[in-house]
Chain A
Amino acid sequence: MTAEPLAAEDAALARIVRREAGLIVAQLQRRLGNFDIAEEAVQEAIIIALRTWRRDGVPANPGGWLSLAARRRAIDLLRKRSREVRLADEWDPDATPAEDAPARTSDERLPMLFGCCHPALSVEARLALTLRAVVGMTTPQIASAFLVPEPTMAQRLVRAKRKITNAGIPFTIPEDSDLAPRLDDVLTVIYLSYNAGYLEPSESGRELSDDAIWLAELVARALPDQAEAWGLLALLTFLYSRTVSRFDDQGRLVLLEDQDRTRWDEVAISRADGYLATAAALGHPGRFQLQAAIAGCHATAATWEETDWLQILTLYDLLLRYDSSPVIKLNHAIALSHLKGPEPALAAVDQIADRLNEYHLLHATRAQLLTQLGDHAAARYANERALALTNNPAEQQLLRSRLEVPE
């Protein structure tokens, strides 16, 4: 195989893999009727590819390279399981996959994505499986992104795949009234992937966020009449536009109000505006579109002082109709504090304190409001609670700096 020597960074390799991996899993799965083997074969092929490409450069047709390697691995895996020997013997992995049955949907990854995000799987399993089977991340990459030991992550993936096979979880795009709630499950997994990455100043954190945006775009383009899919893509693109200003030179977290807005990515903001307009034209509002609209309000304010808090509070009021979770109520209270002051906001926060007692941002928000009200002792206690509850180094650093400077 002719390889074009290329000093590709691992991130660039990961992007090449991402473009191909999910498609190959879907094709193999359809060919073999066995997700476990298809997924395992592609995972092994990715590991071989990363090692080979790092050494020899990326081949001219990386998709074809990966696909062939995966089919060869699949044959080996089939031979290991006696009952599938016959299938393995009949099957020539070097034949072009064109002879396979045609795909039923425009993007074969979509049915697989719905299967990986099935509500019969735990949320942790959905995240891990989606990143491995659809995005083509390796188990060590996923484990490090979620700060979980590698054997734990490997075990989680094995269990999830076993459940898919044994419980008969189908790879289909749900129809009619089933589509909206199942799509919401898919979009939630993508949103959680983004969240797992975006507060990490590290390269791997940024890659996870990047993968999430890539997935959101995949879903929106494959299901173009689904407003919430465009809404999530708009939301993540707005958040992405602030990536470079979210951390300072030392990797410290910079809050929205302190960010250098001239560094925000104007191109990304206008793309996000476009996605949101596409969503709005479909006439089915939802929680991701409303969150995107809120992110859009911040993106269009020239300065923190010019933020249109009335508009934001109104959008949060609407959002609560779709998502009345305590986290949204907390954000509603923060918007309220900017419009009506700390007193009513603290009252609203205290109403949800029981349900968010283990959530660091509840205590961090209380601390800010208490500081504004001059109750420094209570604020200090709340900051200490917040610090004890977060694992994120950037957030820990910010909270520590607040504890060091008594206001």
Chain B
Amino acid sequence: MKYVLMYTNRPDLDSAVPEERRAEVYQAIYGWFEKHGAVMSNPGAELQGPETATSVKSSPNRGEPVVVDGPFSEAKENVGGFSIIDVPDLDAAIAIVKEWPSLLLPGVAVEIRPIVDHGEM
């Protein structure tokens, strides 16, 4: 099954993490991608910060979509990147995600979302 992994963090908590700690974790992330390369359908991308986000929102009143500054949601959590993995089941996905190096930092979470398989509908 294919799953999208969404790597999320809390920008408000990130500042408390010392620079060298962050560098260590970043280094470990390379190792993590190497280790799990075989199941990566698509390693995905690391995203620029939420301050760079632009959202286009539907506007039921005017019909014309509205362009606004910022991420789509006001949540404290920020999606910092994503990957797509192909593994047998959710337990396999959870086992890989538990090793995600950033989980050693405060406020980090990884959301696992199955991808809709149109071939089976």
Instruction: List residues of chain A with CB under 8 Å of any chain B CB.
Output: 83, 118, 120, 166-170, 172, 174, 178
Contact = CB atoms under 8 A, between A and B. Distances in A.
A172 B95 CA distance: 14
A167 B88 contact: no
Contacts of B121: 83
Interface residues of B, number: 13
A35 to B, nearest CB: 12
Nearest to A170: B89
B114 interface: yes
B90 A167 contact: yes
Given A172-B89, A178-B95, 7 more contacts: A120-B94, A168-B1, A168-B90, A168-B93, A169-B91, A170-B90, A172-B91
A134 to B, nearest CB: 19
A169 B88 CA distance: 10
Most buried by A among B89, B91, B114: B91
Nearest to B2: A168
Nearest to A172: B91
Contacts of A174: 91
Contacts of A178: 91, 95
Contacts of A166: 114
Interface string B77-105: 00000000000111101110000000000
B92 to A, nearest CB: 8
A170 B91 contact: yes
A170 B114 contact: no
A178 B121 CA distance: 33
Give chain A's interface secondary structure class: loop
A98 B81 CA distance: 50
A168 B91 CA distance: 8
Contacts of A118: 90
A83 B93 CA distance: 27
Most buried by B among A120, A168, A169, A174: A168
Nearest to A119: B94
A178 B98 CA distance: 12
The 4 closest A-B pairs by CB, nearest first: A170-B89, A168-B1, A168-B89, A168-B90
24 contacts: A83-B120, A118-B90, A120-B90, A120-B94, A166-B114, A167-B90, A167-B112, A167-B114, A168-B1, A168-B3, A168-B88, A168-B89, A168-B90, A168-B114, A169-B89, A169-B90, A169-B91, A170-B88, A170-B89, A172-B89, A172-B91, A174-B91, A178-B91, A178-B95
A118 B90 CA distance: 10
Nearest to B91: A170
A51 B41 CA distance: 51
B97 to A, nearest CB: 12
Nearest to B3: A168
Interface in B46-100: 88-91, 93-95
Nearest to A182: B91
A203 to B, nearest CB: 38
A174 B93 CA distance: 14
A169 B89 CA distance: 6
A166 B1 CA distance: 9
B121 to A, nearest CB: 8
B47 to A, nearest CB: 24
B13 to A, nearest CB: 23
A198 to B, nearest CB: 33
A178 B95 CA distance: 9
